Amino acid sequence: MDNSVMCENVINVNGVDIAYQLHGNPLHPTLLLIHGLSTPLTGWPKTMVAALVAANFQVLLLDNRDVGRSEQLDHFPIPNMGWVVTKLKLGLSIKTPYQLEDMMHDVIALLDALNLAEVHVVGASMGGMIAQLMAIYHPKRVKTLTSIMSTTGYKNLPGIDKNIRETLMRKPASKDYKDQADYHIKKWQVIGSPDYPSSETDLQQYVASMLQRGITVKGTIRQMLSIMAAGNREDALSKLDIPSLVIHGDRDGLVNLAGGKATADAIPRAKFKVYPGMGHDFPVELIPSIVDDIVTHVNTHLGDRA
């Protein structure tokens, strides 16, 4: 079968409509890619997906709930965010529309529907958190784990850089496409890699691919609340017996490098790869190396379980 084959569908799993794409040969081992906060599946660079397919993997991408072509859960009310932040500062628990565990169950249910008994899981940012939860709660479904630019949920780790936090707290000037695009371009410029800045043209195309697929303010807030409410996974991660790779940039101002180090320290025998000059994105210049890291990690453990 031609490796260029791609199919896309929307399926109701775990009570939610989830959109997904399958790229490549279904006879090849499956790599599941889960992206982060308010980032649909088009957030994975096309060159990265193509390179993984060329390395003889079937690549499964999905839109998490509340983003892209997956279901928008607008029947959930949005809580007062000021009160949410206050409660968190006081060490109190918060009520959220759903939790990261619910998003993890979406993914597991999708694997069930696609008859995929086990997959190699790659998660970026919030997607890394979901991937970690898959490994914790469903270890037999996760043949290898790759956690990229993510963290453990430990609240005492360094937080978001001030300039990034201030940028993210701003809102688009209007609902017009240009104002939405300008906001997201600025966001990716601020969280991106200082040593590998994206060209204006590349960034415009990248943002357009995500906005056209679907990003909403309310969906982003609901996903953000699930991250804010998440507990510390370090103890559970310390019990894993899954080949794990942790990748992080040393210039990541959104999820500090300490988050990646804590993840690698928590998981027994995890390999930790730090990229100098990389921020919270996938720079064009580093994609070949990152793909090689993932492929080498996965291929090393292809025969570990029947």
Separation CA 106–CA 93 (nearest Å):
24
* b/e code 220-250 from CB counts within 10 Å (16+ = b): bbbbbbbbebbebbbebbeebebbbbbbbbe
Instruction: Label residue 132 exposed, middle or buried (CB < 10 Å: 0-12, 13-18, 19+).
Output: buried
H/E stretch holding 67: none
Between strands 6-13 and 244-249, the pairing is unpaired
Q: Please list the pLDDT of the chain residue by residue as tens digits (306 residues).
A: 456 679 999 999 999 999 999 999 999 999 999 999 999 999 999 999 999 999 999 999 999 999 999 999 999 988 877 877 787 777 777 889 999 999 999 999 999 999 999 999 999 999 999 999 999 999 999 999 999 999 999 989 999 999 999 998 888 888 899 999 999 999 999 999 999 999 999 999 999 999 999 999 999 999 999 999 999 999 999 999 999 999 999 999 999 999 999 999 999 999 999 999 999 999 999 999 999 999 999 999 886 654
110 with 65: CB under 8 angstroms? no
The number of angstroms, rounded, from the C-alpha of 276 to the middle of its chain's C-alpha atoms is 20
Separation CA 232–CA 239 (nearest Å):
14
Res 89: pLDDT: 75
Domain boundaries, the chain: 6-300
Under 8 Å CB-to-CB from 195, ≥6 apart: which residues?
Answer: 251, 276, 277, 278, 283
Beta bridge partners of 271: 245
41 with 47: CB under 8 angstroms? no
Under 8 Å CB-to-CB from 97, ≥6 apart: which residues?
Answer: 73, 76, 77, 78, 222, 225, 226
Res 12: pLDDT: 98
251 with 194: CB under 8 angstroms? yes
Res 4: pLDDT: 64
Indicate the class that CATH gives domain 6-300. Answer: alpha beta
Separation CA 193–CA 190 (nearest Å):
8
Res 58: pLDDT: 98
Whether the full predicted model's pTM is greater than 0.85, yes or no, is yes
